Structure 1
Amino acid sequence: MRFIPTALAAASLVAAVSGASAHSYKVGDLEIAHPWSRATLPNAPVAGGYMTITNTGKSADRLIGGSTPAAERVEIHEMTMDGDVMKMRPVEGGLEIPAGETITLKPGGYHLMLTKPAGRLKEGDRVPLTLRFEKAGEVKVELAVDKPNAMGPGGATGVDHEAHGAMKMK
């Protein structure tokens, strides 16, 4: 008789772990896959939000903003390198998601900037986030918080350590 409760508990744990590692959402013609963030240091002034957004429709849409109880503001930003100077700027008017294409929000490129986080984001946390799109409307997602040096969902750390010494913030 003990086998049945143990087997059920094990099956439930496997299902929970499988569901936690892969999460995706849909709103209108948009599919949002694997929203994630990096763990932050205590009192960090910002945090990032990353994901892929696929537009399966026949017309473009636009990510125009977001909100979360975990931060004061959510803005769409772009990071670029100009020689050895890293530039960070808000994306005015939102980020276009062309019809039939996928846009990736990732470290070192387009991303969500969570300004003035309410607290530290810790590895393993789930952060509620509402995304706003021009046509598709709003969708509630969760950012899975990963390692502080993660470069992709699931803990990938494609860090270019040689570039760190050459970077300068502007």
Structure 2
Amino acid sequence: MKLKALFVGAFASALMAAPAIAEITVHDAYARSATPNAKTGAAFMVIENTGDADDRLVAVRSEAAVRVELHTHIDQGGGVMKMTEVEEGFVIPAGGKHMLARGGDHVMFMGLKSPFVQDETVSVTLVFETAGETVIEIPVDLERKPKHGMGHNHMNHDN
């Protein structure tokens, strides 16, 4: 009897000492390119963390392009935005969301191996610090308009 009580107590202690785990879901994902023959494209989505610990999207991979990176836009003034890689990734807060949206943080595909075609999908692996890897199929939507007037009208693609 004592052994059983000791085992149950040890098991309960181990559970309480276990680190909190992020639970990641992805919503409203879509990918696009500016033109049918564009060499670059981007993906946007809402990443939700329903867990009780922050996580971080640290990398992204896809066979769709030569390079795939996490990017953001920086306002350079005068209506010019500069796109740049975010090497440290994006924090996905516990119980919160992080939006990858046009004009903001996004997944950048450089050197597309074939054009993004309306209604097809792009396979992407999202790599999280805690939650690990998640493979998602992102639908291509070349017709979706930017929300809130965000777009790539005055974009500096230096990198």
TM-score range (shorter-chain normalised) is 0.7 to 0.9
Summarize the Cα distance change of 1:89–1:160 in structure 2 as closer, same or farther, 3 Å threshold: closer
- For residues 82 and 137 of structure 1, the distance between their equivalents in structure 2, rounded to whole angstroms, comes to 34
Structure 1's consecutive aligned runs of 4 or more residues displaced over 4 angstroms after TM superposition are 157-161
Q: What's the % identity of the aligned pairs? A: 34
Which residue of structure 2 aligns with residue 58 of structure 1? 52
Which residue of structure 1 aligns with residue 121 of structure 2? 126
Which residue of structure 2 aligns with residue 15 of structure 1? none
What letter matches 1:113 in structure 2? Answer: M
Unaligned runs of 5+ in 2: 1-20
Q: What is the TM-score normalised by the length of structure 2?
A: 0.76
In the alignment of these two chains, the number of paired residues is 136
Shift of 1:150: 2.9
| Equivalent runs, 1:11-26 vs 2, <5 Å | none
Summarize the Cα distance change of 1:88–1:160 in structure 2 as closer, same or farther, 3 Å threshold: closer
Unaligned runs of 5+ in 1: 1-26, 152-156
Report if aligned partners of 1:40, 1:121 keep a CA contact under 8 Å in 2.
Answer: no
| Equivalent runs, 1:133-148 vs 2, <5 Å | 133-148=128-143
- For residues 39 and 88 of structure 1, the distance between their equivalents in structure 2, rounded to whole angstroms, comes to 15
Please list the CA deviations of residues 34-72 of structure 1 after superposition, one character each: whole Å capped at 9, or x if unmatched: 221114424422110110001111111110111111111
Shift of 1:148: 4.9
- For residues 160 and 111 of structure 1, the distance between their equivalents in structure 2, rounded to whole angstroms, comes to 13
Report the secondary structure of 1:143's partner residue. strand
- For residues 140 and 168 of structure 1, the distance between their equivalents in structure 2, rounded to whole angstroms, comes to 29
Report if aligned partners of 2:22, 2:94 keep a CA contact under 8 Å in 1.
Answer: no
The structure 2 residue matched to 1:31, chosen from 9, 25, 35, is 25
